[in-house]
Structure 1
């Protein structure tokens, strides 16, 4: 590792959007540390950690800083998805949805910010959802609520951190072709896909390009949300 090496942390890096983001950043010359419940063998460094545990996330970030260097980009892509009618959502389901999405983003941000602020530079990107922008369908209330809260936290954090040189933004994809969507998901139904101007799901690689833009090229982006959603919400 040289002093010029750029270090990024990507959560949810073992599959789906997180894995695509890690791959895209490594192709651009970043050293990427993956944080996930499962191993991320394609990353420069893989740490298995539960993003709902602030203390363990902090320990993981300190390990990354010691091994790879100061983290200058962080992407919160760890996700959890399930469908449940609002009348059937249990307290445990509600709390888990918030803990993974809102809590995971908060814990990552709190852990990387001290070194970013010391350096006067950094970029944090949250993976939101089209459902936080356009509203959820039947069975998506707790997921849409968690993603909506995440975007609210992102905007507030962006305002707070921008004067110190740290940019905070989000990417809110529409339904994306990842393992989170089962084969019988209504979002894969051909009838739904025909309602999209592009007519298909987003690919993880396409979402990853939006993330990379905000990190590498979006130097004036503060509190922005990019929406790669196949034209579902315009």
Structure 2
């Protein structure tokens, strides 16, 4: 599968590395050309401009900080119209750990409206270090990855990409439910900023057992 990646940060690195290892063909673009070239070299892939990456892609991954999303979407325009877009982003500010989007409206819906692509929300609930794991497995069980969207073909493509990195896909609804995944991410991010280890952020039972008054 040809995957075009927009963004050259930790999430692009983690997911792109796993997909390259699974045999997918990648092309990347980003705000910092040097970072994009470094990742392309790591994967044996190519870099290009926004339009070039969009033309190359059968499926696009948008992986940028929410502060840069408006600029990224302006550069993408409608170049990915009708294509599958995987959105792993979280519009969460880290002072109060709340969403910056309009109440009840998700970033995933904003991306779909701006690009005309078929957006699926996925990969937004774990730190990049989790996606770097070769087959994320905890207590002998594959990591479950919630995803949601409206287009059947886009959902099927995303399901396969989740399985390709050794995880268990779990569809949780249509794109309206992306708002709930983003809200859940606000809690996850607050826990990570509070010092929780990324691989065990939900290991609350063990923490309670270790606490005298737990």
Output the CA distance in 1 between the equivalents of 2:85 and 2:112. Answer: 11
* TM-score after normalising by structure 2: 0.51
Q: Which residue of 2 aligns with 1:217?
A: 159
Question: 1:168 and 1:72, CA in 2 relative to 1: closer, same or farther beyond 3 A?
Answer: same
Count of residue pairs brought into register by the alignment:
151
CA deviations over 1:155-197 (Å, ceiling 9, x no partner): 5469xx5xxxx631223735735xxxxxxxxxxxxxxxxxxxx
Q: Which residue of 1 aligns with 2:12?
A: 18
**Gaps spanning 5+ residues in structure 1: where?**
1-5, 49-55, 81-96, 178-201
Paired residue secondary structure (1:33):
strand
Q: Which residue of 2 aligns with 1:94?
A: none
Q: Which residue of 1 aligns with 2:65?
A: 79
Quote the offset at 1:16 in angstroms.
Answer: 0.7
Quote the offset at 1:31 in angstroms.
Answer: 0.2
Quote the offset at 1:103 in angstroms.
Answer: 3.0
Alignment of 1:1-234 (within 5 A): 6-13=1-8, 15-36=9-30, 37=32, 38=35, 39=37, 40=39, 41-47=41-47, 56-58=49-51, 60-61=52-53, 65=55, 70-79=56-65, 97=67, 100-108=68-76, 110-113=78-81, 117=82, 122-129=83-90, 131=92, 136-138=93-95, 144-145=99-100, 150-154=107-111, 156=113, 167-171=118-122, 173-174=124-125, 176=127, 203-205=130-132, 215-217=157-159, 223=175, 225=178, 226=181, 229=185, 232=188
Question: 1:222 and 1:128, CA in 2 relative to 1: closer, same or farther beyond 3 A?
Answer: same
Return the structure number with greater strand share: 2
Question: 1:123 and 1:109, CA in 2 relative to 1: closer, same or farther beyond 3 A?
Answer: farther
Output the CA distance in 2 between the equivalents of 1:174 and 1:130. Answer: 12
Quote the offset at 1:26 in angstroms.
Answer: 1.5
Quote the offset at 1:153 in angstroms.
Answer: 0.8
Output the CA distance in 2 between the equivalents of 1:72 and 1:42. Answer: 21
Q: Does the 8 Å CA contact 2:28/2:47 hold for their aligned counterparts?
A: yes
Q: Does the 8 Å CA contact 1:8/1:73 hold for their aligned counterparts?
A: yes
Paired residue secondary structure (2:124):
coil
Aligned-residue Cα RMSD (Å) equals: 4.3
* TM-score after normalising by structure 1: 0.47
